[in-house]
Structure 1
Amino acid sequence: MSGAPSAFWLVPVAALLISGALLIRTGMQRGPRITISFTTAESLEAGKTRVRYRDVEIGRLKDLHLSTDRTHVLADVQLDDSAKQFAACGTRYWVVRPRIGMTGISGLSTAISGAYIAADTAPASRACKAFVGLEAPPFVTRDRKGKRFVLHADSLGSLTAGSPLLFRRVQAGQVLGYALSADGAEVDVDVFVNAPYDQYVTSGTVWWQASGIDMSFGSDGFRLDTQSVASLLSGGIAFDTLKRAPAPRPAPEGASFVLATDRTQATQGAADGTAARVFMRFEQSLRGLSIGAPVDFHGVELGRVAAIDVDFDPATGRIDMIAALDLYPTRLGRRYRQALGNGDSAAGRNLLHRLIANGLRGQLRMGSVLTGQRYVALDFFPRAPKVAFDPQRTPVELPTVPNTLEELQDQLAGIVDKLDRVPFDQIGRSLDTTLQTAASLFQRVDTELMPEARATLSAAQQSFDAANATLAHGSPLQSDLQGALTELRRTLVSLNSLADYLQQHPESIVWGKSLTRPGQQ
């Protein structure tokens, strides 16, 4: 009995074997251990925080510690054996917690259940041990069906990550993110269109920024355009496919498009082909003409103002205003397109030459009295002066005529300038001197000549009265005839003397009779 092993030792040996078997089984069922880097450990607790995929637990946070440079927090996560594929390189992890942003509120359920680490699978690849966690949840997970596209814009505007994509005012996707291009000349916007809306994105699709309220005052009046409430808060992008686009093809994944600032800019180029850049030279101020103002031909909008510049000639000192216009001549109709031939540029230039010879000119006109905005009008002016036009010159420069109202203002300004140069003060002083001289002359006539004339006429009246008395009825003619003849002779002598004197001295009518004349005693 003493040499046989005691049954007492069999119990602990069996327990050790069972524990080892359990440990081996547990180790075999345990998945990979990974490390996720976050900028902060907010809402994370070692031993409590779960790792979830579609609300199914796939692991647990085991430990938290700082990185060696103390700039990040390293979270040690133990994945389950069934979640080995989440250790593949490219898997995305982020912390789900309550968030309030421009695109809405998310993660409210974690206010009760606590924050957790969410995962998004990656395509099958090699396994990794270290991952960089996302600071915000991705707007699109990899299992969502749809297509991603890249939009090139001059500026970001009011767009942000999560801004909606609208197809005929139906939300069809989201903005994933944005970044400046390599040269910094434009902004590249990454967007995702959900299925089945991605089938409507073709080679003829146009994109434009669609804010909540698009309100503008222009030369064409007041315009108000609205989109969705979501785009009112965070901006948005709208897209549509033009029916006139020739044979549109479905756009492949990752295709690039141009993002216009509004629907007008997006549709005008896509529907009418490439714009023709022309220039117009104005000698007047372009105040009130803004970028994007329409170019009108008899009510048909042919294009838009693309740029405004100043041209200074140092040799002559002349300053002209240059307006660059993007025109779509094909909008003039089918016959005009037929006249152009098969897109032959030489035919188009020759046709333009004939139109200018017939009086085609550009003119700046008032579009809205309320806003003061102007536009450029193309019209025929048969009486316009002939101009030299070189159809081979590039870029094309169209002749212009001044606005009728402004031309009238210039003429009135010229008249006012001429009136300003008239010496009204000098004319007034000369007129005043002339009036004073005339007044003096009339005074001398009244004081010198008139007394002489009155004396002569009085003497003649007396002579006539005496003759009348002599020849009156009942007078003794016989006895007084000699006296009457004598008085009459005296009267005639006086009149002859007056006549001779006036004939010899006519100036006495103005200056009067002098008492002593040169050569008289």
Structure 2
Amino acid sequence: MTDALSPAKARIRNLRYISPIWMVPITAALIGLWLVYVSFSNQGPLVVLTMSNAEGIVAGKTMIKARSVEVGMVQTVKLSEDLTHVIITARMAVDTEELLRQDSQWWVVKPRIERQGISGLGTLLSGSYIELLPGKSNKYREKFVVQDTAPVAQPDEKGLRIRLTSEQSRGLNIGDPVMYRGFTVGRVEQSHFSTGSRQMEYQLFITAPYDGLVTSNVRFWMNGGVRFEASAEGMKFETGSLENLIKGGVSFDVPKGWGLGKSAASGQQFTLYADESSSRNRYYERYLDYVLLFNDSVRGLSSGAPVEYRGIRIGTVMEVPFQLGDVELLGRNSGLIPVLIRIEQDRFDEEGGDRALSQLSRDIEQQIRKGLRATLKTGSLLTGALYVDFNSVPDSPASAGYGRFGSYHTIPTVAGGLARMEQQANRLLTKFNELPLEQTLSNLDAMLKESKQSFAAMRELSSNMNKLAAQPGAQQLPAELTKAMQELQKTLRSFSSDSPVYGDLNRSVESLNSLLRELKPAARKVNEKPNSLIFNQIPADDPVPRSAN
């Protein structure tokens, strides 16, 4: 009975296998780990991009492309800690490590309207994207700087890179064309202003095979623009073609008459001129500086005016007026106006010739002793611009502005142009004033009185001849004498008071008297001011020389 009421004991047995229920979480964990592995294994490298601004860049939407193939996506966009630029993180696609070279180039593609045309229209619907141009370097890199514009040349493209410097305010833009005789042979790669040299500096890329056109003697100038110049050579108006006005850019060529020179080296520096005309002004390395001391007005003479010898240009005017710190403009040199000129030897000697500058100086000294003189001449009546002309004036005194001005040698000068005409007119008027006009008028009056007495005597003689011819004895003269008397009577009758000859002569004498009366005020005015017949009474003001400081 007792055994029937006692509790039953459970039999416990250890399981020898895992319950099938645990397969579910284990399987889920394995699948998760697999997905994580697959996700990480299918992700490309993470790159960091730096930009000046994030215009058109949207996290999760802006793509990264290489040759129009998507190779990455922008993940985050944020400002840098110093707030000076934008930092972008982007996830690249799988197997894109070969694209991330040290010299790879990045830029933003978006709609643009430029002088070269309209680009990036396809991004109006799809949005801006970042273009990647793979480099050729063997070094891997994960941080890059994104440019705002596309590069002009690819890293492996063959060509020549040169530098230009310019003082012009009108500048070039990146991508502007570089042209040779109308053909585009390159582009502007870089453009920036140097605070050290206070000049614009540019880098140009000339593509092969056109890089062989760039030599040491080429000159570069800005395309387009309108140029108006009034100089001693007259007035010039130049404008480029309509295409150059729209595209802009820079052109280059070797000036006419110059040699080609040596081939340019990579990185060689050239000067960028404002226009083609100014690019032809060659810089001559061999020259002599002289000072000319003029007694004439230098109004109309400016820096850059030509210096000529009998029509052949031999130099350039450098500074008007030229003033040294230790030499006064007025006073020490008797009020003469100093002008600095430069005699450029290569203009008239063969370039690289054997004659040295010292020999040229001695030749000029010898010509001065023979009468070489400088004078101011009018280059253009329209503009009034002057230039300096050298010529031989043997009768000119050698002391006219000859010697030294500070540390510079001087060349004698003579008056020229209007000044010489004024001097000649003054000499003529002086001689005219020295004429005895009053005595001449008195003698002329006496001559007129004697002429009237002669006419009266002739009239009396004619009357007597008429009376003689009327006498009876005269009728008996031979026929020849009668005829002669008749002819003489006819001649005498022509000088009577009512004859035309007498009237013309009398009017001529009266006109001469009137002319002499009118000449008396003019003679008095010329005597007081000899140059009043040529020049205005109110003279024009001479130019005010600038200060020496």
Shorter-chain TM-score range: 0.5 to 0.7
Which residue in 1 is equivalent to 2:338? Answer: 322
Question: Is the contact between residue 350 and residue 391 of structure 1 (CA under 8 Å) also seen in structure 2?
Answer: no
Equivalent residues in 2 for 1:64-463 (5 A)?
A: 64-89=77-102, 91-124=104-137, 126-181=139-194, 183-229=196-242, 231-233=244-246, 235-241=248-254, 248-269=261-282, 274-311=286-323, 312-313=328-329, 315-316=331-332, 318-332=334-348, 342-387=354-399, 395-409=408-422
Q: Distance in 2 between matches of 1:287 and 1:392?
A: 21
- What is the letter of the counterpart of residue 339 of structure 2? A
Q: What's the TM-score, normalizing by structure 2?
A: 0.64
Offset at 1:300? 2.5
Offset at 1:217? 2.9
User: Given the alignment of the two structures, is residue 27 of structure 1 paired with residue 40 of structure 2, yes or no?
Assistant: yes
- What is the letter of the counterpart of residue 61 of structure 1? V
Structure 1 pair 390–28 and aligned structure 2 pair: CA distance change class (3 A): farther
Structure 1 pair 27–71 and aligned structure 2 pair: CA distance change class (3 A): same
Question: Is the contact between residue 303 and residue 328 of structure 1 (CA under 8 Å) also seen in structure 2?
Answer: yes
Query: Which secondary structure state, in structure 2, belongs to the residue aligned with residue 142 of structure 1?
Result: coil
Q: Distance in 1 between matches of 2:320 and 2:339?
A: 5
Identity %: 28
Q: Distance in 2 between matches of 1:202 and 1:404?
A: 44
Q: Distance in 1 between matches of 2:288 and 2:41?
A: 72
- What is the letter of the counterpart of residue 350 of structure 1? R
Structure possessing the higher radius of gyration over alpha carbons: 1
Q: Distance in 1 between matches of 2:39 and 2:294?
A: 86
Question: Is the contact between residue 185 and residue 206 of structure 2 (CA under 8 Å) also seen in structure 1?
Answer: yes
Structure 1 pair 262–354 and aligned structure 2 pair: CA distance change class (3 A): farther
Unaligned 5+ runs, structure 2: 1-14, 431-549
Offset at 1:146? 2.0
Query: Which secondary structure state, in structure 1, belongs to the residue aligned with residue 44 of structure 2?
Result: strand
Offset at 1:245? 5.5
Residue deviations 1:221-277 (CA, integer Å, cap 9, x gap) = 23344445454246432212358666733212111123334444434426x654444
Structure 1 pair 41–317 and aligned structure 2 pair: CA distance change class (3 A): same
Q: What's the TM-score, normalizing by structure 1?
A: 0.67
Q: Distance in 2 between matches of 1:314 and 1:245?
A: 43
Offset at 1:413? 8.5
**C-alpha RMSD of matched pairs (Å):** 3.8
Residue deviations 1:413-450 (CA, integer Å, cap 9, x gap) = 99999xxxxxxxxxxxxxxxxxxxxxxxxxxxxxxxxx
Structure 1 pair 200–360 and aligned structure 2 pair: CA distance change class (3 A): same
Q: Distance in 1 between matches of 2:192 and 2:289?
A: 30
Total equivalences in the alignment: 413
With 24-33 and 3-12 compared, the bigger mean Cα shift is at: 3-12
Structure 1 pair 211–158 and aligned structure 2 pair: CA distance change class (3 A): farther
Query: Which secondary structure state, in structure 1, belongs to the residue aligned with residue 125 of structure 2?
Result: helix
- What is the letter of the counterpart of residue 235 of structure 2? F
Q: Distance in 2 between matches of 1:333 and 1:345?
A: 11
Offset at 1:3? 5.0
- What is the letter of the counterpart of residue 177 of structure 2? P
Structure 1 pair 330–72 and aligned structure 2 pair: CA distance change class (3 A): closer
Residue deviations 1:54-110 (CA, integer Å, cap 9, x gap) = 322221111223333444332211122343244444544332211234454332221
Which residue in 2 is equivalent to 1:49? Answer: 62
Residue deviations 1:263-321 (CA, integer Å, cap 9, x gap) = 44434426x65444443332333222233322233332333333323433465484443
Structure 1 pair 108–283 and aligned structure 2 pair: CA distance change class (3 A): farther
